[in-house]
Structures are given as C-alpha cells and as structure tokens.
Structure 1
Amino acid sequence: MNYTAHADGPVDHMDATKYPPVACSLCFSDQGLRLDAEQFQLDYESVMPCPNCGLTGGKRLPKEALETLAHRYFVWGSLWRGDYGGAPRVQFNRKQTTTINVSPWLKPDLALFERLLGIGFFHYGPRLWMLGHVTPLEHLRNSGTRAPVIQRIINEYPSVSYGEDNTFYRLRSSPSAPADPIQYDSPPDEYLGSGRIDSPSLPVLYASPDLDTCLHECRVTAEDETYVATMRPTRPLRLLNLAALLREATQVTEFESLDIAVHMLFLAGKHAYEIIREIALAARHANFDGVIYPSYFSLIRLGIMPFQTIYGISHRIVPQLQDHEESKAVPNLALFGRPIKSGDVCVHSIDRIVLAHVRYGYHFGPSAF
C-alpha cells in the first residue's frame, strides 16, 4: 500500500503487519483530537489492548496515521489567512524540540506525539510569498501597475472552447417565474457590480458544471425555494481558463509566479473583486465569451488545506504535483453579456431543488500555542 503522510483525507485499509498500531483514539485527552482520530477509516481489530494506553475499543492508529493527525490538527488547524495567501502558525519536524506553549488539557497529547513520533512542534515563520508578497500580485494590487499584468494573464492563460456537449447549472432562489428560462440569465442592470466578476458595464451569468458548488455559493437553506436551470451552449464559447495551473519556466520563483498570484487572487475575499472585474473586462475586450475561474469554495468543497507547501516550496511549482494541484480547482463559469437572451446558451430544463440532507465535514485545531 502507498501511504502519503499529511494526506488530505482519511487513510483506510492499512495492513497491520506492515503498519502496526502504536496508539488509539482513546489515548488523547483533548476531545477534538480524539474525534479527529476516530475519523480514520482503518480496519484494525480493536478488541486487543492498545499498545500505548492499554484500553480496548478505540480507533487504532499506526505512526503514519498519527503523523497525519498531527499535521491536520497542529499545522492545518493553526492556518492563518491574510488578505492574500496564508500560512500555518505551527509546524513540526524531527530536528527541533517543542517550543510552543499549548493549553493545559493539550499537553499530555503533545507529549504523546513527541514520544511516539520523535518530533518537536515550533512556531513557523513563513516565507513572505506565502502571505501574498508575490510580485505580479503586488502589481495587480496597485492600479498604476495593474494593466501589464492583466495583459499577461490574457496572453498566458489558455483559451478553452465550451461546446454544445458541455452541461452546466445555474441556481436561483425564489425567482418570480421559476419556469421562465430568461429568469436564469444575467441579472438586470440595477444589480450589476455586486458580484465577483460582473461590473456596471459587464453583465455576467454565473454558472458551474458542479451542482454542489452552485449550492455552496448560493448559500441555500432548507427554507429557500430554490430552482436549478440546466444549460448548454448553442455554439462553441471561447473562454479564458483562469482555473488552469500555468506551467511556468523552472527558473521562476514563488515570488515571481503569475500562477501563484492568480491562485491567491481567487482565494481572496471581496477586497479582490476590483482586480478580478478588470481582468474580466480585459477578457471581454479580447473577444472572449467568458472566463472559467476557480470557485472560492473549491478547497472546502474538496476538503483540502489551502496554501500547501513542501519545505516552503509551493506544490504548484513542483512538476510531479502540478496535475494534482490543478485538479483541486472546482471550475465556475462567468459568461459575459446575457447569453440566454442572445441565444448563445439554451436552457435545457428547470427543476426545483429539495434539500434532503446536509452534512458538515470538519476537523479541529489548537486554541492556543
């Protein structure tokens, strides 16, 4: 079995002869850590006493799962997000001793990780690119230096043809005429300029080929009357794919990367809208019919830690990881103008959505360090 420490999700079906358990979920004092440990889908027998605490009935953990748990709780759980980018405030390795000061109830668990894994926890001082100090991003944030970087984005990001065989969805909450296709077109003029990409001079139809993402972004509740229109283009649409991962020259560092700059831009909040709207206007002027862009909810949709690094190097510039990184971007569509009214997009069907079940995925992190 191939096992990746610091995996994004649970590790399951581990061979007990190859990965012998060293602890169990009952070893932990902190309730958050205990609940996190119970999330691992491991098929060890739990009737034998735990080799660490001697109790039965807990979820057995080998060293590899224990290391994943430490990363998920202390590293991901201490993530700090700035206006752009972000970085964990705690890290661990086998070379340093523990220097963080945790809450009293967490100290026995910290000692357990130290003893069984031979690691130490310390405050992490990130490289500044992780906090948004990326030259193209800094130029985008300055209105006086923005235009050349936007032109680079138009020139360097790939163009995609979205044809009649592509299906995508648009949600509306409480439309006045739910069965009327025109209700699912871009909003009227008086509502323009409030979204991520639309502006007073550029109506945008927001949609996604991923229906779950639509539900996330529309913040649908069980009380809403929600409807979904299934749409297809009537002609090939020329779209600028901003969800793509740029394969930049190997000599480009994280501080110079246009790819990382755009990635951070779409993970930012409303303060980034002004820049994104200017990119959209430039794409319109370059005769694109719209843009594909990564959903703000991509990472929470997939349950993935943002701004992952290996020894300070972004995963996005490691060739062996680029395909995997690109797959993390859940694509959204922003189609310019009013494509339903113009006939460039047809509404195939309209259905009411009934929320039957909602489940939150979560894990924990330290409250003090």
Structure 2
Amino acid sequence: MICSDCLINEGLKIEAERIGIRNNNQCTNCNSFSGKKLNKEIIQKIVDRFFRQGSIDNDYHLPIYQLSFVEYEEMIPFTEETRADLKLLKANSGINIAYHSPRLTDLGYTDISAEIEIIEHEAKEKLNVLIDRLFSKFKDKTLNTNTKLFRIRVNPNSPRTNAEFDTPPKEYIREGRLNNKETPIFYCSEDLNTCVHEVKSTVYDNLYLATFKTKQPLKILSLIDYNKELDLHEMENYISYISYLFRTDLDYNMCQKLAIRAKERGYDGIEYYSFFSKVIGDRKSNIALFGYPMKDGILSLKSVNRLRIEKIDYKLNFGPVQ
C-alpha cells in the first residue's frame, strides 16, 4: 500500500491527504510513517478527481481526460512529476488515463445549431423561423404579481436615487450577453446569491441590493424548462445548444438575437441558467426583463440595502497542467 508522501505533484499529494487513511503504519513504498495510506479504492477516487474532474474545461464544462483500463497515457503530454505519479498510481490500482471524446451534442452541435450557423447572417425572416422552432422546445413561465426579484449595483453614483437601479440609460449601456443599445435589458434574479456571483465584484466594491416586486403577471420565456418529450433524436436536444450559448462568452450576438425575437413575440423577459450554477452547487437562474421595468411601472422598488461580503469559502479541485 502506498501513501500520500509517495507522490511528487503537490496537487495530487493534497488530494491524497484529503481522503487517505490516517494511521501510523510505515509505507511499504517510501517508508514514511506520516503519509495518508492509499488503497486501491482510494487511488481510483484520487485519479478520478485529479485527472478527470480536474481537467474539466471552463467553456464547455467537459473533462479533457477520462479513466481507462487501456494504455493511453504515453500519448498525453503530462509534466514529468505528474507522469511519475500516474505510473505509481496505475501500478497500485490498474487504472489509467485516456483522452475524453465528447459527443457533438455535448459541444452544442445540434441540427438547429448547424442550420443557424448557415443562415445567421441572411434574411432576418429565415433566422426567426429557426429561432421560433427553438423556442417551441421550451416552456413559458409566469412571474405572478408580487414576485420578489433582486438586483445588485456595483459602486452606483447615487444609491439613494431609485433610477440608479433601473436599466441604465442608453448612453451608458455596454454590450452584454442579451443586451445592446437597441435592446436594453434589466438583469435580475429570484436568488440573492446568484446576483452576488453575477456582478463579479471584489471586496473593495460597494454593493447595493435593490429588492423589487412585480406589479403585474409577467410572461417569461424559460430557457431552463425544456420539453424533453418533444425530442425525436439526440440531435434535436436543443437544450445543449442553449447551454452552449449561455455558458460561454463566445456568442453574444446570437443571444442578443434570441432576446430580440422573444420581445417581438410578446415576452416580458427570458430566464436562463446562471454561469455560476456550476460552482454554486445548485442550478440557479437569471431573469432578463426587456426595457425599463421600473420606469414602465412593471416593477416596484421595495427597498435598497448596502451589501457587504462577509465571508467567502472555496472548495478547490486540483488537476493536471494542460
């Protein structure tokens, strides 16, 4: 049985110390008494966490490597220390590493994404037909009267001024995921923590939280509530295409076109998963309302509070250098 002290790579060593067995027995490999002991089951968990989970790509949220029982690791350009550790781990568990080959749908490629790519810059009417087909796969959501919504402003000029918490005036609008100057968007959420994550603030920023309530029912296109029963085959799994659009910063242009079409079809806004759902531990959503909901009398401002980040706690996952 090997131990955590046998490992060279610091990340692997820390992962091993987290879940290894604590005892005073001498390691039969490195003669250490203090290292956490690693049996076959624990080694497999360490390899999975470090090489598979630790290689998850930030854009697609897919692992680069997978566990294997076939000789593949010689093809992978690991660092010398990582390769030495993997050789030791493999010898004591039989587990190996190979490249992970994701399905095309995992990368956002579906029949509709291919069609959109072909005609995206052609006539608006053609694109709208495809967007309508995409929308038909998702369900509508109603925000009932008195639904509570949160919105955070970072370093506002005048937090006592209610207008500071409405959609910015057109001359101050910066292009975002769904908005541009022609399509102003009021970003908010039903979840407070999601708002904090989305504004990407630092501990030096002054945060102000505005709490709103809806003054009337609002019709929302929910891009998180998917009609799975409408799928005919894997390439019609349009949720993968939507997930691709909203989890990366690669295609704001297409997201903005979705927003324009949703507004044209009479929706008051769009619901979509927060990018930070992957680290929050639960699937949380953002809501994007069209126009100026405060000025237009759709929302009422109930209160404004200064918000201070008191504590941040990280759960870290080590992985190999790519």
Q: TM-score range by the shorter chain?
A: 0.7 to 0.9
Which string of whole-angstrom CA distances, capped at 9 and with x for unpartnered residues, describes residues 335-358 of structure 1?
112111222212222111122223
Q: Does 1:268 align with 2:234?
A: no
Query: CA, structure 1 residues 150+124, in 2 after alignment: closer, same or farther (shift >3 Å)?
Result: same
Partner of 1:281: 260
> 2:43 is aligned with what amino acid?
L
TM superposition shift of 1:182: 2.3
**Contact 1:169 1:231 (8 Å CA) reproduced:** yes
Partner of 1:204: 185
Distance 1:200 1:272 in 2: 17
**Contact 1:25 1:59 (8 Å CA) reproduced:** yes
> 1:78 is aligned with what amino acid?
S
> 1:268 is aligned with what amino acid?
T
**Contact 1:63 1:117 (8 Å CA) reproduced:** yes
Partner of 1:136: 112
**Contact 2:142 2:220 (8 Å CA) reproduced:** yes
Once the two structures are superposed, the pairs formed by residues 16-95 of structure 1 within 5 Å of their partners are 24-40=3-19, 45-49=22-26, 55-59=32-36, 61=38, 63-80=40-57, 85=60, 87-95=62-70
Distance 1:246 1:141 in 2: 23
**Contact 1:86 1:131 (8 Å CA) reproduced:** no
Distance 1:109 1:47 in 2: 23
TM superposition shift of 1:56: 4.1
Q: Secondary structure at the match of 2:97?
A: strand
- Bigger shift: residues 23-32 or 95-104: 95-104
Query: CA, structure 1 residues 148+50, in 2 after alignment: closer, same or farther (shift >3 Å)?
Result: farther
Normalising by structure 2, report the TM-score.
0.86
Which string of whole-angstrom CA distances, capped at 9 and with x for unpartnered residues, describes residues 282-333 of structure 1?
111222111111112221333xxxxxxxxxxxxxxxxxxxxxxxxx532001
1:256 pairs, out of 201, 219, 236, with: 236
TM superposition shift of 1:279: 1.0
Partner of 2:128: 147
Query: CA, structure 1 residues 351+25, in 2 after alignment: closer, same or farther (shift >3 Å)?
Result: farther
Q: Secondary structure at the match of 1:343?
A: coil
**Contact 2:72 2:98 (8 Å CA) reproduced:** yes
Distance 1:148 1:55 in 2: 67
Query: CA, structure 1 residues 86+105, in 2 after alignment: closer, same or farther (shift >3 Å)?
Result: same
Q: Secondary structure at the match of 2:224?
A: coil
**Contact 1:154 1:282 (8 Å CA) reproduced:** no
Structure 1's unaligned 5+ residue stretches are 1-21, 303-327
Distance 1:136 1:86 in 2: 21
Once the two structures are superposed, the pairs formed by residues 345-360 of structure 1 within 5 Å of their partners are 345-360=299-314
- Bigger shift: residues 64-73 or 335-344: 64-73
Distance 1:60 1:228 in 2: 49
Query: CA, structure 1 residues 97+272, in 2 after alignment: closer, same or farther (shift >3 Å)?
Result: closer
**Contact 1:243 1:329 (8 Å CA) reproduced:** no
Once the two structures are superposed, the pairs formed by residues 92-131 of structure 1 within 5 Å of their partners are 92-96=67-71, 98-99=73-74, 100-131=76-107
Which string of whole-angstrom CA distances, capped at 9 and with x for unpartnered residues, describes residues 184-235 of structure 1?
1111111335111123232211012222222222121122121111222122
> 2:244 is aligned with what amino acid?
M
Q: Does 1:170 align with 2:124?
A: no
Query: CA, structure 1 residues 122+193, in 2 after alignment: closer, same or farther (shift >3 Å)?
Result: same
Q: Does 1:343 align with 2:275?
A: no
Q: Secondary structure at the match of 1:355?
A: coil
Q: Does 1:297 align with 2:297?
A: no
Structure 2's unaligned 5+ residue stretches are none
Which string of whole-angstrom CA distances, capped at 9 and with x for unpartnered residues, describes residues 7-43 of structure 1?
xxxxxxxxxxxxxxx6543332210111233444x8x
Equivalenced residue count is: 316
Query: CA, structure 1 residues 87+173, in 2 after alignment: closer, same or farther (shift >3 Å)?
Result: closer
**Contact 1:141 1:275 (8 Å CA) reproduced:** no
**Contact 2:186 2:290 (8 Å CA) reproduced:** yes
**Contact 1:157 1:244 (8 Å CA) reproduced:** yes
Q: Secondary structure at the match of 2:270?
A: strand
Partner of 1:308: none
TM superposition shift of 1:57: 4.2
Which string of whole-angstrom CA distances, capped at 9 and with x for unpartnered residues, describes residues 119-156 of structure 1?
22223344444444322223333413632221023322
Distance 1:249 1:57 in 2: 57
Q: Does 1:238 align with 2:219?
A: yes
TM superposition shift of 1:181: 2.6
> 1:119 is aligned with what amino acid?
I
Query: CA, structure 1 residues 45+258, in 2 after alignment: closer, same or farther (shift >3 Å)?
Result: same
Normalising by structure 1, report the TM-score.
0.76
